[in-house]
Chain A
Amino acid sequence: MRMRLLALPLIVAFAVLILWPLSSVVIDSFDAKGEVSFGNYTEVLSSAYYQQSFITTLWISALTTVIGIVFGILLAIALRARGRGVRRFALAFGSMGANFAGVPLAMAIIILFGMNGFFTILVGKLGLPGAFNVYSIIGLTIAYCYFQIALATLLLTPAFDAVPVEIEEAASLMGVSSARFWARIGVPMLARQIVAIAILLFANAMGTFATTFALTGTSVNVVTVAISSLVSGDIFSDPNLANAISLLLLIVLLVPIIASQIIAGEKRLGKDPSAGPQR
């Protein structure tokens, strides 16, 4: 069909801008000092430093995913009963929260929790414990939670809207409390979508670079920062090692994403998330 040609330029663009660089990453990851081998992989997998960076990243991603999903579910349920105005405001707020990531978020977190931060001074004045070093994994966790909660709310709210009001009312007529209804019926009904959204949140955190780099530089050892150090052209630069780590990161992300897509049976999730992923 002639009209299919309209799609051709985009297919070419994707081939050049996605397929080409990705295949270069895959091919070069097997290039260890000019020879085809698994050398880069054995080096990465046997290095305590890179093992630690994967463990740290997996840990912070899993933790902030759980926090994001729990808050997202509670917010989606609370928003369900509110009027359209409140809901629209909340979604706009969430979309901004998801975009307000990266350098500005890192800066805002420092203004709040840094040495001279609002929170740090408040805690000091009240004589409470709770002051912490913001340039650490704790600071990172707080920053990640910010955009994870925003993204979870954006993606979960439409999913929760799909639960018919009738069954909620029926449950309430039978004397089932709202909390019990959601715990026993509502949330299990949406289990598949919630898992799929959780996997997206997890991938979102695993791939985060801007917020991490702007807040903690290279002092917290996460995978994306390790990759950037390897290609940034200083004395530690070893691009082929970066290829191998990138591919390992891709595998960690793609396996659950593809699995959830298959499980969801081509069911499209999040028809209208008005925010992109964190980069």
Chain B
Amino acid sequence: MTLSNGVLSRVFLIAVAAVMALPVVATAIDAFAAEWAHTLLPTGYTTEYFMTVVGDPRFIAAMGRSLTVAAAALAIATVLIVPAIVSAHIYWPALDRWFARLVILPYAVPAIVLVVGYLRVFSNPPLQINGTPLVLVLVYVPVCFPMFYISVKNSLRGLAIDDLLNAGRLVGANDAVILRRVVLPCILPGIMIAVVLNFAILFSEFVYAKMLVGGNFETLQLYMYAQRNLSGRITSVIVLIYFILLLLMTLVSLRLAETERAQR
């Protein structure tokens, strides 16, 4: 019996996939169930709950807030992080080594620990921003860093940077121009992948939103949290919609990764 290509491994893969898919499938069934209590499967189906959620102004507002905060944070993050990674990669190897270490920062320093610090430093002047959406936008910037580093660095490794720079200098272009006109277009697919994956991460963010801003600015995750004790159907619909969004973002990132591979 061979483990890596036999029947056993196939059955194992299918079994694990089924178990991992179970929470999502159950949620999807529950979202459209008319009556589901004390029976294994629902006795009827309806789109009533789905319509209720999609038409709920509070849901639409929460979605809008999540999108706005994520977009603002990603815009700032892209402008701050991408040039720094490129610069460290080409001109500052010592910094690059530190950046590589920072990739595991989110594991090493849990968000709740940073929350304790943020509650302190952002509650007093000069940066008294706790409770405002601005604090979310700012604290989301470091959250985006690991994905940017992994993705942009991957693109940079595939480039013969020294050759590009030497060729450019030979024809009289300075480094800033070469970076903007030659290197940037080459790493653009990598940047796009990082943006999409970070979007999914920021969309799923709960700790900072709950602890630093709370009810003042209800994001999608806070909306879900607030609805969790209401009718089970409503929460299922919300989770399902969230899952579909996550699926779309993942598919887009895969598509982008495919095009990048094809271009090489």
A50 interfacial contact with B, CB 8 Å: no
**Do B142 and A9 touch (CB < 8 A)?**
no
B14: nearest residue on chain A (CB-CB)? A78
A134 interfacial contact with B, CB 8 Å: no
B120 interfacial contact with A, CB 8 Å: yes
Which residues of A (1-54) have their CB < 8 Å from a CB of B? 1, 3-11, 13-14, 16-18, 20-25, 28
B171 interfacial contact with A, CB 8 Å: no
Min Cβ gap B146→A in Å is 7
**Do A95 and B107 touch (CB < 8 A)?**
no
> Size band of the B side of the interface?
35 or more
| Cα-based distance from A227 to B235 in the complex (angstroms) | 27
**Do A109 and B23 touch (CB < 8 A)?**
yes
Of B45-53, B54-62, B63-71, B205-213, the segment with at least 4 beta carbons within 8 Å of chain A is B205-213
Give the dominant DSSP class at A's interface.
helix
A69 interfacial contact with B, CB 8 Å: no
Contact of A111 among B91, B236, B253 (CB under 8 A): B236
Residues of B within 8 A of A112 (CB): 22-23, 26
Residues of B within 8 A of A75 (CB): 12-13, 16
B214: nearest residue on chain A (CB-CB)? A232
A59 interfacial contact with B, CB 8 Å: no
Which residues of A (222-256) have their CB < 8 Å from a CB of B? 224, 227-228, 231-232, 239, 242-243, 246, 249-250, 253-254
| Cα-based distance from A254 to B6 in the complex (angstroms) | 41
Which residues of B (14-60) have their CB < 8 Å from a CB of A? 16-17, 20, 22-24, 26-27, 30, 36-40
Residues of B within 8 A of A172 (CB): 2
Interface residues of A (CB under 8 A from B): 1, 3-11, 13-14, 16-18, 20-25, 28, 71, 74-75, 77-82, 86, 88, 90, 92-93, 95-97, 99-112, 116-118, 121-122, 125, 146, 149-150, 168, 172, 177-179, 182, 200, 203-204, 206-210, 213-214, 224, 227-228, 231-232, 239, 242-243, 246, 249-250, 253-254, 257, 261, 266, 268, 271-277, 279
Q: Sample 9 A-B pairs with CB under 8 A, ordered by A number.
A: A3-B176, A6-B87, A17-B141, A20-B117, A22-B117, A25-B117, A107-B238, A121-B38, A249-B110
Q: Sorted from nearest, which 10 A-B pairs have the closest CB atoms?
A: A21-B117, A207-B110, A108-B23, A10-B84, A6-B87, A210-B206, A78-B9, A178-B2, A7-B84, A81-B5
Interface residues of B (CB under 8 A from A): 1-6, 9-10, 12-13, 16-17, 20, 22-24, 26-27, 30, 36-40, 80-81, 83-84, 86-88, 90-92, 95, 97, 100-102, 104-121, 127, 138-139, 141-143, 146-147, 150, 154, 175-176, 179, 197, 200-201, 204-207, 210-211, 221, 224-225, 228, 232, 235-236, 238-239, 242-243, 246-247, 250-251, 253-254
